[in-house]
A and B are shown apart, each in its own frame.
Chain A
Amino acid sequence: MTATLPAEPAAGPAVRTTVGRTFLAMMSRELRVLRKNFVSTFVRVLLQPLLFVFVFAYVLPKLGTGAPGAGSAGGGTTFSTILVPGLVGSSIVMQGIMAVVFPLMMELNWQRSITDRALAPLPIPLLAVEKIVASGLQALIAGLLVFPCVLFIHAGGQAPDVHVSNWPLLVFVLVFGSLLSAAGGLLMGTLVDPQKVQMIFGIILMPISMLGCVYYPWAALEHVRWLQIVSLANPMVYVNEGLRAALTPDVGHMHFYVYGTVILVGTVALTWLSARKFTQRVLT
């Protein structure tokens, strides 16, 4: 260690920073970390939908087994047409939640390393918003990476019928669906005891994913009315229905007023609530 330090005037901040600049610097830190972990993060994200679409849209049709669920969506609709928005949506929601919840549990508990960023010149609720935006970005990337995989892997005659007739709608659902998931993840990360992290997988993520209208459109659940009603409590349903409306408009889907309102209001409400809880956890 150098014994004598060169003169360092302790005359105040080196640079007058702004809250916006600090916010962007924090985003830049998130991007640096994302770049370092890109392969490991997104291989994990891609693997499940890739295998799913491989088995159900390629292997099973090759074996001559009827694809499940397709009939209920309307005559002539392939199962892969159902799967494209479902798997893109579930990847967005799962990645949005996981990208924030697991690092946050480490930061809030182990060594309380959140202190590092809590000391940056930014109001703590904005630090929460930064976490939501950064995780939302990861969710969006996950959705965009999964999309070509589920679009192009299928057996002959099983091609999904995907066409975007409303680009603003697609962008809206992708962006706000990502933010909604990340805000939900932040709320979970601040509420769940880190020792019960396994519970998040078993009790929250698994039911959200399995019953999130990934493998069938919500309208098809009219045959199981109670499940159709219960599913309305699952935020993934609205993201998947929104993507169905944007990517496969010929398949029956919810009205925009329903999924659009839930996605938008849910994003605002969860961001407010999670920022509040996050602030309470960071500031004692």
Chain B
Amino acid sequence: MTAPPETAVQTVDLHKTYSGPKGDVEAVRGIDLDVRRGEFFGLLGPNGAGKSTTIGMLTTLVRPTSGEARVCGFDVTRDAVEVKRRIGMVSQNNTLDSELTAAENLEFRGRFFGLGARAAKRRADELLELFGLADRRDGNPFELSGGQAKRLMIGRALVHRPEVLFLDEPTAGLDPQNRVNLWDLLRELQKQGQTIVLTTHYMEEAEVLCDRLAVVDHGRVLARGTAAELKDSAGADTVLTVSYDGDVPADLSKLSERAGISKVEVNGGQIRVFSTAPEGLLGELVGAGAAAGVNVTDASQLRPSLETVFLSLTGRDYRD
């Protein structure tokens, strides 16, 4: 596999199977990715979709079972050290070194990557200032708030000016204010040309931050593109879901033949209609139920979003 120079990350048919006492678990089942330099790329999917395993393989910490992955042109298995020289990684957990102060965490990261002692100290001070942590420089990293610890971890990942920054669920567990602050920080980094690959299960986060996305579920990429392209590909502006206390009226299955309706899914007493012309449709669904002698027990209307895309791709709610 040879990647063009503008490609930062490329994977081909990447697989990971974990073997355990209860049998094999296929965490990643053939993922193909292509991230360009300077791009903000997101892997979006629910928990357990295989996002973290994919990031783990790209950052050399998880060994692929098969397939190929290259970061900055280097194979993640054969040239792991070259890959590590070029990447920064922010894990989901707080992996800061509890034996060192906040400043020392940055300083030693710099030294691991070849900076001299003085240069590493200067770089640490510079990053603490940039990330608003100068007053916590001598504190233990486990005494920092969640947002501060995450900022320190991002600072640590940037010490050696990596070509690609990987972030695994960076805002998980943060309060809304810290989440927005972190978004601002990540946007600034991208403006300066930083290539960023992020995993998230927050749809809003993916939509707000990422230039392009891959929607992942059960270890496979279901769709990829910009948020707008993904919404278009779903073929629906709106998803209407109505539940009845009996079977869905038989006539309603014919809705799929109507112009403006791209898909109709019937599952027992629930109908889901994907439509580009939803006006009056909800009333029609309620009326059809009344005519067939069943009552509506629940109804929802989702405006076009990545959630409707996920629904369209998988046929199930995002948080199932």
Q: Is the beta-carbon distance between A1 and B131 smaller than 8 angstroms?
A: yes
Q: Is the beta-carbon distance between A32 and B81 smaller than 8 angstroms?
A: no
> 1/0 per residue B71-100: CB within 8 Å of A?
000000000111011110101011111111
**Min CB–CB distance B19 → chain A (angstroms):** 11
Of the listed stretches B186-194, B227-235, B269-277, B307-315, name the one at the interface; the rest are far from the partner chain. Answer: B186-194
- Complex Cα spacing A118 to B96, Å: 13
Q: Is the beta-carbon distance between A15 and B163 smaller than 8 angstroms?
A: no
Q: Does any Cβ of A come within 8 Å of B174's Cβ? A: no
Q: Is the beta-carbon distance between A116 and B162 smaller than 8 angstroms?
A: no
Q: Does any Cβ of B come within 8 Å of A17's Cβ? A: yes
Q: Does any Cβ of A come within 8 Å of B284's Cβ? A: no
Q: Is the beta-carbon distance between A121 and B62 smaller than 8 angstroms?
A: no
**Min CB–CB distance A128 → chain B (angstroms):** 15
Q: Does any Cβ of B come within 8 Å of A202's Cβ? A: no
Q: Which residues of B lie under 8 Å from residue A113 when comparing CB positions?
A: 95-98
**Taking CB as reference atom, which chain A residue is nearest B166?**
A119
Q: Is the beta-carbon distance between B130 and A6 smaller than 8 angstroms?
A: yes
User: Which residues, 188 to 231 on B, are CB-close (under 8 Å) to A?
Assistant: 188-189, 192-195
Q: Is the beta-carbon distance between A13 and B113 smaller than 8 angstroms?
A: yes
User: Which residues, 15 to 45 on A, are CB-close (under 8 Å) to B?
Assistant: 15-19, 21-22, 25-26, 28-29, 32-33, 36-37
- Complex Cα spacing A283 to B192, Å: 32
- Complex Cα spacing A8 to B114, Å: 18
Of the listed stretches B104-112, B240-248, B285-293, name the one at the interface; the rest are far from the partner chain. Answer: B104-112
- Complex Cα spacing A122 to B89, Å: 15
Q: Which positions in A face B, CB cutoff 8 Å? A: 1-19, 21-22, 25-26, 28-29, 32-33, 36-37, 111-113, 115-123, 282-284
Can you show 16 pairs from A to B with CB atoms below 8 A apart? A8-B161, A9-B161, A10-B38, A10-B193, A12-B86, A12-B161, A14-B115, A14-B123, A14-B160, A33-B99, A115-B95, A116-B95, A119-B61, A120-B84, A121-B113, A122-B81
